[in-house]
């Protein structure tokens, strides 16, 4: 753990009655037997239900198959890892020495599990209502706002490309910045730039393709904010 957990808790807009629950949610099994695996199991189920309920409300005319695919586009390892990176969650994780040396704080599986564990901890601390509020109004607020039946099946790179084409502008540029880690556990960082704005976005993933998708998603969010 590089930074204090209370800093992350405040940044996430949370306040725990039992702060130890939050610390446990950030503790990987490599660091302690009192780790986040059980909380992750609980949080996974809660997150799936909350997102399913919200999608049911948002898209009253969507069939079960479409709702399932919409949920899968939001609740998956890559999506949760992106949210974790957005809040620099890796800087607050408690990892064993082996995971620290191998870059576990950057790994999608560890980051996504920690997000689900935080949800599980919040449920144990304050119940379902608090979980629903935090997930819908904070954690997934931006992703839910940008979701539509027209673009759910299109990946972020395709969406960004079509946006640039609709404006008759050059296609986005993706540049590989770094590639690190062991051959079977590599981490890629890719920078995405467009001619629409001066800012660039950096995405991270365990493959170059995933890093590009992550960068494109961040760019879409940035452009969405810029047009408001």
Which tens digits make up the pLDDT trace of 109-142? 999 999 999 999 999 999 999 999 999 999 999 9
Report the CATH architecture of 156-226: 2-Layer Sandwich (3.30)
CB atoms within 10 A of CB 79: 19
Structure tokens at 52: 């399913």
44 is catalytic: yes
As a whole number, mean pLDDT of residues 47-73 equals 90
pLDDT score for 214: 92
β-sheet with 173-180: strand ranges across:
173-180, 187-193, 201-205
List of long-range contacts for 130-139, beta carbons under 8 Å, 24+ apart: 131/46, 131/50, 132/50, 132/53, 134/12, 134/13, 134/14, 135/47, 135/50, 135/51, 136/50, 136/54, 138/12, 138/13, 139/83, 139/115
Per-domain residue ranges for the chain?
5-145, 156-226
217 is in an annotated binding site: no
Whole-model pTM: value is 0.69
With bands split at pLDDT 50, 70 and 90, how would you rate the model's confidence at 167? confident
40 is in an annotated binding site: yes
Catalytic residue among 108, 116, 212, 217: 116
212 is in an annotated binding site: no
The size of the chain, in residues, is: 228
Fold of 5-145: Ribonuclease iii, N-terminal Endonuclease Domain; Chain A (1.10.1520)
116 is catalytic: yes
Report d(CA 24, CA 54) in Å as an integer: 28
């Amino acid at each position: 753990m590089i930074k204090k957990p209370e800093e992350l808790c405040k940044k996430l807009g949370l306040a725990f009655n039992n702060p130890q629950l939050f610390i446990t949610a950030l503790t990987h099994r490599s660091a302690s037997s009192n780790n986040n695996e059980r909380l992750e199991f609980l949080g996974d189920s809660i997150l799936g239900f909350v997102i399913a309920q919200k999608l049911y409300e948002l898209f009253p005319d969507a069939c079960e198959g479409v709702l399932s695919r919409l949920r899968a586009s939001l609740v998956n390892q890559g999506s949760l890892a992106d949210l974790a990176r957005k809040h620099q969650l890796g800087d607050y994780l408690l990892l064993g020495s082996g995971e620290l040396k191998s870059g576990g704080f950057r790994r999608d599986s560890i980051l996504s599990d920690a997000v689900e564990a935080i949800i599980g901890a919040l449920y144990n601390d304050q119940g379902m209502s608090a979980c629903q509020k935090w997930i819908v109004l904070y954690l997934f607020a931006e992703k839910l706002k940008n979701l539509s039946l027209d673009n759910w099946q299109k990946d972020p790179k395709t969406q960004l490309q079509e946006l640039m084409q609709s404006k008759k502008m050059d296609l986005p540029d993706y540049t590989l910045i770094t590639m690190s880690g062991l051959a079977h556990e590599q981490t890629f960082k890719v920078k995405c730039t467009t001619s629409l704005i001066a800012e660039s976005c950096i995405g991270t993933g365990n493959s170059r393709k995933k890093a590009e998708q992550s960068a494109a998603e961040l760019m879409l969010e940035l452009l969405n904010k810029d047009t408001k």
